[in-house]
Amino acid sequence: MRNLGCGCPGSMARVIERQETTETNTVKAPSELRQWPVQLHLVPPTATYFKDAELLVCADCVAFAMGNMHADLLKGKALAIACPKLDDTTPYVEKLSQIIQTNNTPRVTVAIMEVPCCRGLSMLVAEAIKQSGRDVPVDTIVIGVDGNRRN
């Protein structure tokens, strides 16, 4: 068993103070998910949902921190989620490179948390694009632990 209490600022326990609302709005936000599976280890690089699709490479925690993640980040994109700290990321660069190279990916959005260990996901994507041999634009979005966008 790994000791995850390694002093990483991203592992620090925090309480996020929120003001309680009494709003009774019961409208549910629709899911924008267009595929299954979503975990980068599990997605097949040749899946039809990647063909000509913008790609969102998203840190696992983003969806839980950001209340409106589906509407703000996921809508209209194919998704691959990963955790650069806890996952075995060894195959990630090659798999992302295959996805980008074989599916005419027009753009990649990387959504990460503000914690330092999450930056590894951006580096993996940059290396994958380099290995793909394609010039694909990348947008990096940083989300705070409070769910707010930092950039």
- The per-residue pLDDT for range 16-48, each reduced to its tens digit, is 565 776 666 667 888 999 999 999 999 999 999
Give the separation between CA 117 and CA 87, rounded to whole angstroms: 12
Quick one: what percent of the chain has pLDDT higher than 70? 84
More confident residue, 7 or 61: 61
Residue 84 lies in a domain: yes
Residue 134 lies in a domain: yes
Residue 124 lies in a domain: yes
The 10 Å CB-count burial string (b at 16+, else e) for 111-131 is bbbbbebbbbbbebbbebbee
Residue 82 lies in a domain: yes
In the chain, the number of structural domains is 1
Residue 17 lies in a domain: no
Give the separation between CA 92 and CA 121, rounded to whole angstroms: 9
Residue 88 lies in a domain: yes
Residue 19 lies in a domain: no
CATH code, 105 = 3.40.50
Residue 7 lies in a domain: no
Structural domain span for residue 76: 30-143
The whole-model pTM stands at 0.86
